[in-house]
Structure 1
Amino acid sequence: MVTFGTASAAPGEIDTGRLEVGESRDGSPVGLPVAVVNGAGDGKTLYMQAASDGDELNGVGVVQQVLPQLDPAELSGTILVCGIVNYHAFQVAEHRNPIDDTKMNRAYPGDAAGTSSERIAAATYDAAVGADLVLDLHQGSTSRMLDECRVRCGTRHRLHEECLELAKVFGCGYILDQKGPDGQLARAAPDEGVPTIDPELGGCVGWDEESIQTGVEGVFNVLTHYGFLNNTLSERPQTRATGFEQYGSPNGGLVDFAVDLGDRVSRGQTLFEVTSVFGQTKAEVTADSPGIFWRSRRLPQVATGEYVCSVGTNLDTV
């Protein structure tokens, strides 16, 4: 029998329940939606979670589509799922937990006696580090971004190759292989010996069906490669960036992009112009390095110094 929160499943069974992480302001219990899929055969354990940031919904869409397709009778191993991590932010469609104004993916490994976010992080971290593999499903918030996987442990980490292999198998097409900030699950769990990646499934307001399908395919790629399912997997080369350059606006005005997501850019190539409301050019911003146009803001209006876009650099194929 495998238990996660109130979900409990014997071999060949699936169950859903709640993982209690405290109480809301009216004193009612707060429980994260969780599921256990316990395969009929022996195998590894995969932990998967979504909506660590409350407005990143594509991962929730992946969970919603993957779970009904799983037949425990045909599965070897166990899958543990937390469908919504940042419960309070999800309720109000915000990025950060409004109870303590915290970005959840900076709170790991958490503290079972700490703030709201630290308690949620601690509860989900316990499940993550008890698994053999971890998928922490994200998206580029509400900006526009490529579908990509992030390896966040750093290239010198003892588990780097295992994390990179997991990202290659997931197969978004693009990998950002760069050490992440402290407090990320994909930084913390490898320290406990668990390969972990952070698939960033595009970026949108609400959710995007194309990015969700990329995530669904990625999950089934992982389940096949690591022996949970007896399927055929055809892996394809991934484009990896180990650098990531961000560009802000030198002026206030309206942004007009000269390139689109996924375009290759050369050093000195125009990325965007800033114009006045009357169409007069105020600034032209060019790429500092060759790379791939990776991410951009959604709204055209910018203030001086405000974030506009990012370019993935130091490219190779893995």
Structure 2
Amino acid sequence: MTTTLGTASAGPGEIDTGRLEVGETRDGSPVGLPVAVINGERSGKTLYLQAASDGDELNGVGVIRRLVPQLDPATLSGTILIVGIVNYHAFQVAEHRNPIDDTKMNRAYPGNENGTSSERIAAATFDAASRADLVLDLHQGSTSRMIDEVRVRCGRRHRIHEDCLELAKAFGCGYVLDQKGPDGQLARVAPDEGIPTVDPELGGAVGWDETSIRKGVEGVFNVLEYYGFLDGSPTLERQTRATGFEQYGSPVGGLVDMQKDLGARVSRGEPIFEVTTPFGESKATITADSDGILWRTRRLPQVATGEYVCSVGTDVDTV
């Protein structure tokens, strides 16, 4: 059966690319998101994959750019629907939020086809995601430094939480943040429709990071094999899971000196960063409030009073 997404249309054993129209620019030109349909020669499940919901999070775009040329529909069972760049306007100006309506796209789902720019894009992409059996929404920790991890955002009491957690483990970054996310996230909304959905958070970079991109490509292939899109018999490996997430700001202005590396274990009361003057004089040493893992840090060393410095994943176990 022929499958379409926007102007992309592919019969069994075919790949096609096109655009998904979501409105117009200020000069009246049409806005079309880049889309692809990869239709397997054999029937099977449908995977929906999207990237750049936040316009400066480019590692997911790097994953798709690397992934699609490696996929042969002759060896595929089922269908893959892809939106390569979701936040079109933010991507064009390398910003996080959609500059047309100053909105963070991943707070706008399920969207509104008659609403703001972001709501219309969310509605169009949610419509595509709703056609799938599984959803991967590729993100990164913006331009901060962050470990490669996968986020389960539906909440642990959700009726398909275990299915979402299984999808996260199948992706296989090694780390899972299992914490209910804010309203309006795709990974919050799609599970309400019975669709297992996760956010792979592929590190954090200015531009993109090849190591995280490779991890993302490997993760998508892990999912394709685990759920029968491609031949293979992968097993789920144990993952380090955090169910809490503590953020730390600086109590003073100055220059940050991190005392721990990303991914390192921290103990309650242990120093995690120091703030100094430009002359190396210590102004403050900040210690961990809880045991956990250093999950994310700011990229620039200079901070003002109260400015974000790092995050620690807490309540850590293995799943």
Per the normalisation by structure 1, the TM-score is: 0.99
Residue equivalent to 1:104 = 105
How far residue 254 of structure 1 moved from its aligned partner, in angstroms, is: 0.6
SS at match of 1:247: strand
Across the aligned residues of Structure 1 and Structure 2, the Cα RMSD in angstroms comes to: 0.6
How far residue 228 of structure 1 moved from its aligned partner, in angstroms, is: 0.2
Amino acid at match of 1:236: E
Paired residues for 1:8-19 under 5 Å: 8-19=9-20
Residue equivalent to 2:6 = 5
Partners of 2:298 and 2:235 in 1: CA distance: 34
Partners of 1:66 and 1:151 in 2: CA distance: 23
Q: Gaps spanning 5+ residues in structure 2: where?
A: none
Identity %: 79
Amino acid at match of 2:290: S
Residue equivalent to 1:299 = 300
How far residue 55 of structure 1 moved from its aligned partner, in angstroms, is: 0.4
Paired residues for 1:114-153 under 5 Å: 114-153=115-154
Residue equivalent to 1:32 = 33
SS at match of 2:311: strand
Partners of 1:67 and 1:231 in 2: CA distance: 19
Partners of 2:190 and 2:261 in 1: CA distance: 34
The C-alpha deviation readout for 1:44-102, integer Å capped at 9, x for no partner, is 00000000000000000000011000010110000000000000000000000000000
How far residue 234 of structure 1 moved from its aligned partner, in angstroms, is: 4.2
Amino acid at match of 1:28: S
225-234 vs 41-50, which deviates more? 225-234
Partners of 1:257 and 1:35 in 2: CA distance: 42
Partners of 2:100 and 2:34 in 1: CA distance: 19
Residue equivalent to 1:69 = 70
Partners of 1:89 and 1:243 in 2: CA distance: 30
Amino acid at match of 2:45: K
How far residue 237 of structure 1 moved from its aligned partner, in angstroms, is: 1.1
Paired residues for 1:1-318 under 5 Å: 1-318=2-319
SS at match of 2:280: coil
The C-alpha deviation readout for 1:263-289, integer Å capped at 9, x for no partner, is 001111100001111211110000010
Partners of 1:223 and 1:124 in 2: CA distance: 21
Partners of 1:277 and 1:225 in 2: CA distance: 52
- Runs (4+) of structure 1 moved beyond 3 Å? none
Partners of 1:66 and 1:231 in 2: CA distance: 17
How far residue 129 of structure 1 moved from its aligned partner, in angstroms, is: 1.3
Partners of 1:202 and 1:232 in 2: CA distance: 27
SS at match of 2:63: helix
Amino acid at match of 1:4: L
How far residue 235 of structure 1 moved from its aligned partner, in angstroms, is: 3.3
SS at match of 2:78: strand
Partners of 1:182 and 1:132 in 2: CA distance: 22
Partners of 2:61 and 2:237 in 1: CA distance: 26
SS at match of 1:283: strand
Partners of 1:74 and 1:262 in 2: CA distance: 37
Amino acid at match of 2:146: M
The C-alpha deviation readout for 1:229-270, integer Å capped at 9, x for no partner, is 012324321100000010000001110000010000111110
Amino acid at match of 1:25: R
Partners of 1:63 and 1:204 in 2: CA distance: 17
SS at match of 1:309: strand
The C-alpha deviation readout for 1:86-141, integer Å capped at 9, x for no partner, is 00000000000000000000000000000000000000000111100000000000
Partners of 2:221 and 2:233 in 1: CA distance: 10
Partners of 1:178 and 1:167 in 2: CA distance: 13
Q: Gaps spanning 5+ residues in structure 1: where?
A: none
Per the normalisation by structure 2, the TM-score is: 0.99
